[in-house]
Structure 1
Amino acid sequence: MPIKAILTDIEGTTSAVSFVFDVLFPYAAAHLPDFIREHIDEARVAEQLAAVQRESGEMDADPERCIEILLGWIAEDRKATPLKALQGMVWEQGYRAGQLRGHIYPDAADALRHWHAEGFRLYVYSSGSIQAQKLIFGCSEAGDLSPLFSGYFDTTSGPKREADSYRRIAAAIGLPAEEILFLSDVVQELDAAQLAGMQTIGLAREGGVLEGHDTVASFAVIDPARV
């Protein structure tokens, strides 16, 4: 069946891993404590702090203790939904202030524009929150790429290494899984998408092979019409 939609990972795929670990994470760690203290009365922040209490099992944790827990999660790169949501709020502040610009590989930006023009529906699936995804593409070094995308998915759709997550995404997109091409640099994610019925291509920008999947070093050589 011909490919009609392309679902892409961000970190290591459209964007450098170093941007996340060397720019975004340190920015969040530095600004998250004051952001929470300054916005503690906002419902969106209170909701996420309650989620931190539940996920940590510390139902009596006060805001300062929640900040400690969140900083610990950042240090261990924990894929915790409330952390991702709060990081997204902090990053939004940074993007809007012009202190952050989303890194997108030039070959990825060019390919995404080309695929969109050819009529492919584009989607994102990342462990970062949907808000963070929109900011990376909307405030990127390549300009505002957000009009190219038809939708975004994060860990609320399920873990990225489980096939059921990709089945849920296919259902949300409204296409058979076989008509969706998934791009990632992580073999376990590609395996899960493949198990769900999606077509897959692995990105290995430093070279090498992602076993069990067609592997390329650049978006420039991907032709969805020939998958």
Structure 2
Amino acid sequence: MTTIVLDIEGTTSSTESVHVGLYAYARPRLGPYLEAHRDDPEVRAVLAEIGADGAAEAVKVLHGWMDGDVKATPLKTLQGRIWAEGFAAGELTAHFFADVPPALRAWHAAGHRLAVFSSGSVSSQRPWFGHAADGDLSVLVSGWFDTVNAGPKREPGSYERIAATLGDPSELLFLSDVPAELDAAAAAGWRTTGVRRPGEPNAAVPFGGHPIVTTFEEIHP
């Protein structure tokens, strides 16, 4: 049995659907969300981590991080909570490449485990997979990992920590469109496959010695 660990942006879903769709949804809602949840312990912790005295100052920092595509934990936390509310309200629907849902269902039915490792927070991963256009895919996933509970995606230690939860690294297969992430996983003893999606930012990058596919239909775990 193989455990297949999925990246999201550029792998299961288009980068644009995250950076344009979700980011545009979250951006104007950051300030109102901070104001409405100022007594929430997690929100207070986020403000403290940012080093901001109030919502207005925090929003300037958060918007700067968004503009620079900075993978900052406070930003990921808030975005995840805002997106979860948007999915629950029916205002957001997750995008998946057409080959992904049938492949995930087939792998799951064949007895393979599925997990996710994304720079987006676990709180955003779950509703993303739970609100696909053709049904709830979250029920297929048994492990959720982000840069908080696992670590940076380009460091082998993060994959070692995930393996401590999921099992033998040689039975773990990581799918990603980012060569540096695949390198880190391979250094931790994982199997890897590069996903080269036409039209995505990393469509033309070299993947070194990693196997490469253009659709999940080519993967036979």
Could you say which TM-score interval applies, normalised by the shorter chain?
Answer: over 0.9
Cα distance, 1:142 vs structure 2: 2.3
SS in 1 for 2:193: strand
Corresponding residue number in structure 2 for 1:211: 208
CA distance in 1: counterparts of 2:196 and 2:207, whole angstroms: 7
CA distance in 1: counterparts of 2:58 and 2:118, whole angstroms: 24
Corresponding residue number in structure 1 for 2:8: 10
* Root-mean-square deviation over aligned CA pairs: 1.2
**Identity percentage of aligned residues:** 46
CA distance in 1: counterparts of 2:63 and 2:41, whole angstroms: 21
Corresponding residue number in structure 2 for 1:188: 180
CA distance in 1: counterparts of 2:16 and 2:179, whole angstroms: 19
The one-letter code sitting in structure 1 at the alignment partner of 2:91 is: Q
CA distance in 2: counterparts of 1:32 and 1:183, whole angstroms: 31
SS in 1 for 2:95: coil
Corresponding residue number in structure 2 for 1:126: 118
8 Å Cα contact 1:137/1:144 also seen in 2:
yes
SS in 2 for 1:200: strand
Corresponding residue number in structure 2 for 1:29: 27
1:163 and 2:163 aligned: no
Matched residue count: 215
SS in 2 for 1:220: helix
Within a 5 Å distance, the mapping from 1:81-160 to structure 2 comes to 81-156=73-148, 157-160=150-153
The one-letter code sitting in structure 2 at the alignment partner of 1:64 is: A
CA distance in 2: counterparts of 1:40 and 1:213, whole angstroms: 46
CA distance in 2: counterparts of 1:140 and 1:194, whole angstroms: 30
CA distance in 2: counterparts of 1:199 and 1:143, whole angstroms: 29
Q: Which runs of 5+ in 1 are unaligned?
A: 54-59
TM-score (norm 1): 0.91
CA distance in 1: counterparts of 2:219 and 2:208, whole angstroms: 18
Runs of 4+ in 1 over 2 A off after TM superposition: 60-63
